[in-house]
Amino acid sequence: VYRSGGDSGPQHGHGKTSQGVQSVSIDLSKEEVLVEAALTSTEVQSLIERTGRRAVLKGIGGSKQDLGAAVAMLSGAGSIQGVVRFLQVSEEDCLIDGTIDGLEPGPHGLHVHTLGDLTQDCLSCGEHYNPFGKQHGGPGDSERHVGDLGNIVAGPDGRASFRLEDRQLKVWDVIGRSLVVDSGEDDLGRGGHSLSKLTGNSGDGLACGIIARSAGLFQNPKKICACDGVTLWEERDRPVAGKGRSKINPETPPAHL
């Protein structure tokens, strides 16, 4: 679901679809656009914003029952940052949708790690999540860590946008753990290096974040953050934290309730 800002425009219930988009439903009263698609969330947002309106992702969900959703906000050295969402679309299948910016162009290993500990950045995240004691492998292998998600590929601009489906990972098992993107390509356990069957020899962790439970589809009606007064439309124009984030005057005395 996306919130779309700007003029109300023509009032209609359904919009034209593009390749990879199955259906579009528009609710002007809620400023919401519901898109059913096989595209990444970044691609869907870009399609909406080609109309000249600003769009903000409210959430992703399956067309059936709500089996759980999670999100990880990744950050690392330099300008690396990203958001990755997890959605359990069925008892067997987990959808992983994300965008990470600031990477070196090329492939980077992506893994769920056992610990949700960022006290020493990615170094304290522990090993790959491996509850069944298997060797490292690729996403399609039976012999793999549950946390082995393969590679994502950053383009020349340093952005990696991806949509993965995994049949071993379950949202309810990874909440509270961490997601790490590595400096190099994961060899999927097929290389000759001593680390191939352990980590995929994908190098050090560049950026990481804790996987936290998130609202499912239609479960988050928020338009404004009460903590700092920033609206959904202003989020991308302000820093995530620190000076310059809040719209609330620090000299304003707190209300007596």
Spell out a b/e string for 137-162, using b for 16 or more CB atoms within 10 Å of the CB, else e.
bbbebeebbbbbbbbbebeeeebbbb
> Where is 174: in which H helix or E strand?
helix 171-174
Share of the chain above pLDDT 90, in %: 51
| 2-58 classified as CATH 3.40.718.10 | no
List all residues 6 or more positions away from 170 whose beta carbon is below 8 Å from its beta carbon. 88, 94
Question: What are the pLDDT digits (tens) for 107-128?
Answer: 999 999 999 999 999 999 999 9
What are the start and end residues of each CATH 3.30.70.100 domain in the chain?
2-58
Please tell me the least confidently modeled range out of 31-45, 136-150, 225-239: 225-239
Q: Average pLDDT of the chain?
A: 80
Residue 173: which pLDDT band, with cuts at 50, 70 and 90? very high
Assess whether pLDDT exceeds 80 at residue 35. Answer: no
Domain 69-213 fold is Immunoglobulin-like (2.60.40)
